[in-house]
Chain A
Amino acid sequence: MSNALTFNEDQRDCLQEICNVAMGQAGDSLARLLNVFINLSVPYIRLIKAEEVHQELRSLINAPQVSAVRQAFYSPQGNQGLCGESIVIFSDASFQELAHLMAFEGRELDARAEQELLLDISNVLNGACLNGIAQQLEEQLGYSAPSLIGQHIPVEQILDKEKLTWEHALSIKIGYTLENHAFQCDMLMLMPGAAISHLMSVLDQFLEDF
C-alpha cells in the first residue's frame, strides 16, 4: 500500500515550468535532428499513485499498441535523493508519423532503423527532462543507459517487467506538433515514496527563494 502524496498547486506549477524549460531544450534538439520547426505545448504534469498507473496510461494513450524505452536515474545521496525510472511511451501511430518524417526518398524505415530512432528520440526527451530537473533544482543525478522495453506491445505490458519498488509516478504529457504532424508521447517517472518526498522538499526550498 502506498501513502497518498499529492503536490500542492505551487509545487505542481513549479515542476511543470521546470519541465517546460526542459522540453523547450528537447524540442530544439528534435527540431535539429528532424530539420523542422516544432510547435511546443506546455507539458502537463500529474502525480499519480501506483494503483492508478494503468488507468492513467489507458486514458493518455488511446492506442492498442505502443513502443517504450526505459532509463533509470539515481542520486549520489542514495535512496534519500531523487531516484527512479523514467519511461518514454509512444503510440505506434504517433511513432509512425515521426518515422515518416525521418524516412527520405520514399525509403521505408526497417525495424532496426526504427529501433534506433526510438532510442534516439527517447534519449533526447529523457535526457532533457532529467537534466532540466537536476540543473534547475540543483540536484545531482546519474543515469543508466536507456533500454528498449518493447516495440508494438500492448500498453498493459509496459510495466510487467518492472523490478523497481515504486509507489508513485509522475505522469508528464508531452505534445509536439511538427509540419502538420501531431506527435504526442508520454513520460512516466516511476519513483519510490521517499524520492517523491525529497522532490517535494526540494521544490519547497526552491519556491522559498522567491
Chain B
Amino acid sequence: MPIPLLICDDSKMARKQVQRSLPDGWDVEVTLATNGQEAMEAIRAGKGEMLFLDLTMPVMDGYQVLEAIQREGHKTLTIVISADIQPEAYSRVMALKALDFIKKPVDRVKLSEVLHKYGLV
C-alpha cells in the first residue's frame, strides 16, 4: 500500500521542488495542497499520513495546520519545509509536534537524510 503523502506549499515551484526531491522508488501517493485549509481537508479525507508543510502561507499558515492536526487528533507525521530559519521558528514547530524541520530550498540529500533518520524509507 502506498503511503498517502501530502505536500502543502503556496508556491507551485516549491511543491515541485519537494516532489523532485522524493527518494526514487518510494511508494507514496502524492496529494498537493496550496494552503493550510486545503491541507486539513486532505488530512480529514485520509490523504495525509505524512505531510511536508510550508509555514508562511495565505488563508491558513503552517503553525495553524500543526495546531489543527493536534486538536483533531490526526496521526499525521509532519516535516516542516520552510524559508523561516529563525531558531524560534524551529522551536515553535517542534513544540507543535512536528517531526523535523528542513530549511528551504529543499533538495534530495536533505530530504533523504531526514527520512532515513526516522526510518521512513
Contact = CB atoms under 8 A, between A and B. Distances in A.
Contacts of A42: 10-11, 56-58
A14 B88 CA distance: 27
Interface stretch (B23-31, B36-44, B77-85, B113-121): B77-85
A14 B105 CA distance: 12
Interface residues of A, number: 21
A24 B11 contact: no
A210 B20 contact: yes
A79 interface: no
A16 B64 CA distance: 23
Interface in A1-54: 10, 13-14, 16-17, 20-21, 23-25, 27-28, 31, 37-38, 40-42
Interface of B: 10-14, 16-17, 20, 55-58, 82-86, 88-89, 104-105
Nearest to A42: B56
A41 B10 CA distance: 12
Contact of A136 (B11, B84, B105): B105
B86 A17 contact: no
A207 interface: yes
Nearest to B58: A42
Given A24-B82, A25-B85, A41 B13 contact: no
